[in-house]
């Protein structure tokens, strides 16, 4: 939202020939400058606060092999299980015979060889898009009011106000994105026509000649994008957001899961990847991409972790029942860690999710959740799932992770990351993280969605060498052994003021796998 506002202001000012001094002073790091492995590196030798995973491989795994493969359940949008850098790290349910249409292991899921897909409609078709939760809440309220039916206990005035606020803010963003889309389509059309090809580069635009006003504006606006470190692919993606808001996220008439049960887990299929699996594939690669093939990404816990694929996150907000069922599936089928790189501001059936998380804790499962990307203090602003409704064991088996950037200075915390002295346990690298993408591709992505799997990978690396630890002991170890930066003054995400790191998360620390392994005997 904030980046959009900046871009729109820059576009408007540029279109009228006005200068904007802040553009030339932008300090946003271009993705091409980021080190592909910075999240695996160490401050001592590489001057970044990474996990020191590479040091674990060099100094520990050279002589000590993992004692146990740690199963990391990735509850996400799906994973390309055939990716060249991932297929050797995908969990396999050895008790299930692939493709025979029989529930061989009697766990209630047929042919669940690598996990399960809970994103289906009432006809069993895969669901790709869904509403925002605010849309679903407001739609339900309208329907109940129309039918003169009572509201459920959870549908309070406070929830309705929160849903309305989120919906209205998102509507404003949709409008802004629509304006942006029109501007981009105009300059893109000009660039393609003048350059004579669709796959033009920023350099091609820069070299355009002519006094035509359209060409001048096109050059100015693309120059701004280039200085901001925004690639053409980003522009194309941002240009499509308005359509998604209109067609899916904010559309009261779009309800892909209408007719689905409000309880139970007897639905879904074993479709693991497909459309919209980019996010989950990137997350999975951060954890377990192959290190031995000299290509692509370098997983934090390759050789120590296996990826269980659980589809429960659509392009839109996840549904609480799907999340709860995915957590229970993971806990019942051997997962040791659950990575949850998703979140939302309203959770109507949060008790379902809390109960599932507590159930996972009884199975000795560690849950790692992304803090969110709104530059908000989530001690004050809700971000679900969280540990607010968990019992003591559930809280001690849960980690909420914020994101850091590849710098050691005041901009250490990623500008988009949520934070919270009580809610966020640790920070982990989450900006410009290189990993796998569907179709044997690779790329950089940023978000607490990336920081969470970095932490999951670090946790798996430690646990694989010390499987005698309980989830609670591992959680405590990861917090106590992390790189302590408590006294360091950093910019508060989304603000210009600074604060001590220790006031922005519980530990005031960045996760460190090597340090955790060094401190295991001290538990």
Average pLDDT over residues 506-517: 97
CA-based nearest residue to 88, from 299, 390, 393, 270: 299
Average pLDDT over residues 85-89: 97
> Where would I find the beta strands (DSSP E) of 109-264?
115-117
Tokens coding 434: 């290189």
* pLDDT category of residue 521 using cuts at 50, 70 and 90: low
CA-based nearest residue to 477, from 486, 488, 466: 466
Please tell me the predicted confidence (pLDDT) of residue 522: 54
Q: What is the pLDDT of residues 47-69, one digit of tens each?
A: 899 999 999 999 999 888 999 99
pLDDT at 177 over 50: yes
Sketch the domain layout of the chain as residue ranges: 2-27+134-249, 37-130+268-522
Please tell me the predicted confidence (pLDDT) of residue 240: 80
Q: What is the pLDDT of residues 326-376, one digit of tens each?
A: 999 999 999 999 999 999 999 999 999 999 999 999 999 999 999 999 999
CB atoms closer than 10 angstroms to residue 25: 8
pLDDT at 1 over 50: no
Region for residue 328 given its phi and psi (left: phi exceeds 0; alpha: psi -120 to 50; beta: otherwise): alpha
Tokens coding 403: 């994101």
> Which secondary-structure segment (H or E) carries 402?
strand 398-404
Q: What is the pLDDT of residues 255-269, one digit of tens each?
A: 999 999 999 999 999
> Where would I find the beta strands (DSSP E) of 446-508?
483-484, 489-491, 498-500
The SS3 call for residue 227 is helix
Q: CATH fold of 37-130+268-522, please? A: Rossmann fold (3.40.50)
* pLDDT category of residue 27 using cuts at 50, 70 and 90: very low
* pLDDT category of residue 127 using cuts at 50, 70 and 90: very high
User: What's the mean pLDDT when you consider all of the chain?
Assistant: 91
Q: What is the pTM of this model?
A: 0.90
Taking the CA atoms of 178, 375, 285 and 406 in sequence, report the sign of the dihedral they define.
Answer: positive
pLDDT at 32 over 70: no
The SS3 call for residue 388 is coil
pLDDT at 400 over 90: yes
């Amino acid at each position: 939202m904030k980046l959009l506002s900046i871009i729109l202001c820059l576009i408007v000012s540029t279109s009228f020939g006005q200068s904007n001094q802040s553009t030339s002073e932008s300090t946003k790091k271009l993705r091409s400058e980021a080190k592909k492995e910075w999240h695996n590196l160490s401050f001592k030798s590489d001057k970044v606060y990474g996990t020191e995973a590479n040091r674990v491989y060099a100094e520990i795994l050279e002589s000590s092999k993992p004692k146990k493969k740690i199963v990391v359940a990735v509850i996400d949008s799906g994973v390309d299980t055939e990716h060249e850098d991932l297929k050797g790290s995908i969990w396999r349910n050895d008790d299930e015979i692939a493709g025979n249409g029989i529930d061989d292991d009697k766990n209630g899921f047929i042919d669940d060889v690598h996990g399960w897909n809970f994103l289906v409609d009432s006809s069993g078709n895969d669901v790709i898009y869904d509403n925002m939760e605010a849309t679903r809440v407001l739609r339900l309220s309208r329907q109940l009011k129309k039918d003169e039916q009572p509201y459920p206990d959870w549908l309070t005035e406070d929830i309705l106000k929160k849903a309305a606020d989120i919906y209205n803010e998102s509507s404003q963003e949709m409008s802004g994105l629509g304006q942006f889309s029109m501007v981009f389509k105009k300059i893109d059309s000009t660039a393609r026509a003048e350059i004579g090809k669709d796959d033009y580069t920023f350099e091609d635009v820069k070299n355009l000649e002519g006094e035509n006003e359209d060409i001048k504006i096109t050059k100015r606006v693309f120059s701004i994008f280039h200085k901001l470190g925004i690639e053409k692919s980003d522009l194309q993606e941002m240009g499509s957001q308005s359509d998604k808001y209109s067609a899916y996220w904010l559309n009261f008439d779009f309800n892909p899961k209408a007719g689905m049960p409000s309880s139970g887990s007897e639905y879904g299929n074993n479709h693991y990847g497909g459309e919209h699996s980019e996010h989950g594939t990137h997350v999975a690669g951060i954890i377990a991409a192959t290190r031995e093939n000299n290509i692509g990404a370098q997983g934090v816990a390759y050789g120590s972790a296996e990826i269980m694929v659980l589809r429960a996150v659509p392009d839109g907000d996840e549904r609480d029942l799907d999340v709860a069922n995915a957590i229970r599936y993971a806990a019942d089928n051997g997962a040791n860690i659950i990575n949850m790189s998703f979140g939302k501001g309203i959770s109507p059936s949060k008790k379902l999710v809390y109960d599932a998380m507590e159930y996972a804790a009884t199975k000795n499962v560690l849950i790692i959740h992304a803090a969110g990307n709104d530059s908000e203090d989530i001690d004050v602003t809700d971000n679900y799932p969280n540990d607010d409704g968990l019992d003591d064991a559930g809280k001690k088996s849960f980690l909420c992770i914020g994101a850091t950037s590849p710098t050691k200075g005041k901009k250490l915390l990623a500008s988009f990351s949520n934070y919270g002295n009580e809610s966020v346990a640790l920070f982990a690298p989450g900006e410009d993280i290189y990993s796998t993408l569907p179709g044997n591709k690779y790329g950089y992505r940023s978000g607490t969605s990336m920081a969470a799997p970095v932490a999951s990978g670090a946790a798996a690396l430690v646990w694989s060498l010390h499987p005698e630890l309980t989830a609670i002991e591992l959680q405590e170890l990861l917090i106590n052994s992390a790189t302590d930066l408590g006294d360091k003054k950093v910019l508060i995400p989304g603000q210009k003021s600074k604060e001590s790191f220790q006031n922005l998360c519980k530990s005031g620390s960045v996760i460190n796998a090597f340090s955790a392994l060094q401190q295991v005997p001290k538990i």
